[in-house]
Structure 1
Amino acid sequence: MIYLSSSNRVRLTSSEMASLWSEYINHTHSSCMLEYFIAKAEDDEVLEVLNKTYQIIEISKDNTKRILESENVPIPMGFSSQDVDVNAPRLFSDSFFLLYIKNLSRVMVASCGLMFTMSTRKDMREHFKECLSKSSTVFDNVSDVLLNKGLYTRPPVIEPPKKSDFVEDKDYLNGINLFGDQRFLNAIEISHVFGNIEANVIGNALTKGFGQTADLKEVREFMENAGGLSEKIINLLTQFLSGSQLPAPMPSDTQVYNSSHPSFSDRLMMYQITTLSAAGLSDYATSLATSQRNDLKRHYMDLIDDTVKLAKKAENIMINNSWKEQPPQQDKIKL
């Protein structure tokens, strides 16, 4: 990639700086997670996916660091080998590694796409376009392996309607059919309900593993509360699918081993949950905006409120322990 020379460079916008800063920290975090996964993976296909993903993350991390340095933006501390113990006992199964990478790549595709559209300079657009392409490659790779191993949980299949139609009664929004029966979820609603359940299955497994191995009591208690919220969300949204006679992805206790030896630092684990909470808030907001059943909308509003409260607790724990890095901001102009 060719970057603008210092003589004709247009300064980074605040959006571009924020994107690069956040991207670098996210990559350092993902590298730590992947180093541990690679050290513990037993299946050759799983190991191949993990190694390819790690290489992509490392290349992107180095590119991002070079841009920050060239723009005189301080490099964030991020995460390092001090935040992961690759010699710790196994905490998660190979199947969980694949599901984690699938969810990671999904978040990366969304964030890189947003960063791309927030960028102005051509070299920055090229950087995030490449990031988007690499994230898509990770998603393709892990999806193929999940499918080959029969581990890919497909969204529900429904029969297509016999013809196109229009909504003719406001009861449709209340979740009621013309004859007074509860209306089944439509395809758009199903896709978001299913996706939110799937994401919380990953979060539930993470909080269980993190809760077992956290050093500080407040972190262990937080992970227990976070796991409780994920279980609440899974159970609630599963009821919507079962009410429409549809299957739901279910968590598996076999994905988490009984180790109590810390595999990751408390700081890294808390950061992981804050990123999942942020992704969840974005997903619930999108689900709220696109769903049409009012009862489903109300529940999404409640989930947003619950997740905001959880995220606030996480932020307070991180600040109290000096774990939260401060993003770049405008200095006050002295008059």
Structure 2
Amino acid sequence: MPEKPAITSSELGTLWLTYQQKTMILRMLEYFIEKADDEKAKDIMTNLYGEIDLYIGKITEIFKDEGAVIPVGFSAQDVNKDVPKLYANGFDIMFVRLLKEISMAMHSLNITMAYREDVVMIFDGLTAITQKYYNLCTQYLLEKGMLARPPYVSMPNSVEFVKDTNYLGGLAINPFSVKRTLNTVEVAHLHHAIESNLTGMQLITGFAQCANEKEVKTFFNEGTELAKSIIKELSEVLLQSNVQTPEVSGGNPTRSTVAPFSDKLMMYCTSLFCSFSMGSNSLGTAFSLRNDLPAKMAIFMKDIFEYAHKGAKIMINNGWMEEPPQMEERKQIINK
């Protein structure tokens, strides 16, 4: 058999990021599985745990074969399964569903940066797992009445073309301009953004209740308020076009103030959600043709970026941010 080529810098970086994300997910699944009262939800999470754990092993083997140090990621020290439930029934699957959305985006991007066949197959396999469990979580939540479908609309009976530039109306510089009714593409992205922020708000509210460090608790409180403001503004946009806003039924944080996860893990999880939110808002901006919508999304992205930057500083100051593998510093090597 011919020797495998060494993995590239992009493959090392994407595998490293995947290891961080997947070890975090395993720790959170360990807690949610322990606290699950619903057998179907427990089965979904237990099966997902086993499939993810298998791929962490594959990534670890590649690191070992290449002589790369195994990342720290997240370990048993970052989870405490013996504390009370932090979230009501149903939130565990809501959370896993949102994680699978993030994973779909990550794996789709990572596979475009992989060249060696075994690395490509890792991301191909993870993509299949992600799609499978995203659908299982969606159907579970729909069956339980815990997931609001997007609004229905009358089916078009003719093809229409945009007749003039008024279709783009709604510029922020002219707040009195007439805004056309939203189209279905714009509603799709607005509905998705509200739905994601509702789950994120519940997650961070729970984190705020149980965080150990005062600075971290304050950071999570700020995140809750940021999510609320985004939900409020986007809901108003939908209501102006007489479109129903999505709501989450159940899955709220309990009264528990005992942390099931380390502050390090909760900070990383929030950082991951911020990155996903910025990417999702970018897509919403790209596909929105009414000028006021990209303007709103741009403000949200700025606020989310500043919030994420503040979180990164907290992680660095507490020694919680693991550094990705670096390229060689040629100037230092030469100067030696």
- TM-score under structure 2 length normalisation: 0.94
Counterpart Cα distance in 1 of 2:90 and 2:251: 9
Q: Distance in 1 between matches of 2:208 and 2:178?
A: 43
Q: Please name the residue that 1:152 is paired with.
A: 147
Separation in 2 of the partners of 1:112 and 1:258?
36
Amino-acid identity (%): 33
The one-letter code sitting in structure 2 at the alignment partner of 1:330 is: M
Please name the residue that 1:230 is paired with. 227
1:331 corresponds to: 328
Amino acid at match of 2:92: F
Opposite residue 189 of structure 1, the aligned amino acid is E
Question: Residue in 2 aligned with 1:71?
Answer: 66
Aligned equivalents of 2:280, 2:258: Cα separation in 1: 33
Specify which of 18, 22, 26 is matched with residue 31 of structure 1: 26
Residue 281 (str. 1) matches residue 272 (str. 2):
no
Residue 156 (structure 2) aligned to one of 154, 161, 167: 161
Cα deviation for residue 132 of structure 1 reads 0.5
State the one-letter code of the partner of 1:43.
D
Q: CA separation in 2, counterparts of 1:181 and 1:225?
A: 34
Corresponding residue pairs, total = 327
Match of 1:113 among 108, 111, 120: 108
Deviation at 1:87, TM superposition (A): 0.4
Cα distance, 1:55 vs. partner? 1.3
C-alpha distance in structure 2 between counterparts of 1:213 and 1:166, whole Å: 53
CA distance, structure 2, for counterparts of residue 254 and residue 33 of structure 1: 16
Deviation at 1:11, TM superposition (A): 1.7
Moved over 3 A (4+): 251-254
Contact 1:29-1:79 at 8 Å conserved across structures: yes
Post-superposition offset of 1:300: 0.3
| Displacement after TM superposition at 1:125 (Å) | 1.3
Residue 148 (structure 1) shift: 2.1
2-side partners of 1:252 and 1:143: how far apart? 14
Tell me how far apart the structure 2 counterparts of residues 197 and 82 of structure 1 sit (CA, whole Å). 33
Tell me by how many angstroms 1:182 deviates: 2.9
Range moving further from structure 2, 52-61 or 193-202: 52-61
Shift of 1:254: 5.5
1:241 aligned onto 2:230: no
Opposite residue 18 of structure 1, the aligned amino acid is G
1:187 maps onto 2:184 in alignment: yes
- Residues 211/286 of structure 1: CA separation in 2 closer, same or farther (3 Å cut): same
**Post-superposition CA distance 1:99-137 (Å, at most 9, x none):** 111111111111111111111122221111111011111
Q: Which moved more, 1:83-92 or 1:148-157?
A: 148-157
Cα distance, 1:207–1:156 mapped onto 2, change above 3 Å: same
Instruction: Tell whether the 8 Å contact from 1:208 to 1:256 is kept in structure 2 after alignment.
Output: yes
Contact 2:146–2:249, Cα closer than 8 Å, also in 1: no
CA RMSD of aligned residues (A): 1.5
Output the CA distance in 1 between the equivalents of 2:133 and 2:193.
20
Deviation, 1:315, is 0.2
Q: Which amino acid in structure 1 is aligned with residue 14 of structure 2?
A: S
Could you give the per-residue CA deviations for residues 222-274 of structure 1, whole angstroms, max 9, x where no partner exists? 00001000000111111111112112222557511010111111000000100
Give the conservation status (yes or no) of the 8 Å contact 1:175–1:184: no
Please name the residue that 1:216 is paired with.
213
* Alpha-carbon distance, 1:175 to partner: 4.2
Deviations, residues 145-168 of structure 1 (Å, cap 9, x unaligned):
122222232112111222111111
**Residue in 2 that maps onto 1:199:** 196
TM-score calculated relative to the size of structure 1 = 0.94
- Following the alignment from structure 1 to structure 2, what is the Cα–Cα distance between the partners of residues 312 and 319? 11
**Any conservation in 1 of the 2:90–2:250 contact (CA below 8 Å)?**
no
Amino acid at match of 1:107: I
| CA distance in structure 2 between the aligned counterparts of 1:195 and 1:11, rounded to whole angstroms | 40
SS state of the match for residue 161, structure 1?
A: coil
Distance 1:219 1:251, change over 3 A: farther
Distance 1:87 1:248 in 2: 37
- Tell me whether 1:13 sits opposite 2:8 in the alignment: yes
Match 1:309 to one of 306, 310, 332: 306
Unaligned segments of structure 1, at least 5 residues = none
Letter in 2 for 1:110: A
Q: Does 1:100 align with 2:95?
A: yes
1:94 is paired with a residue whose SS is coil
Given candidates 119, 127, 140, the residue that maps to 1:124 is 119
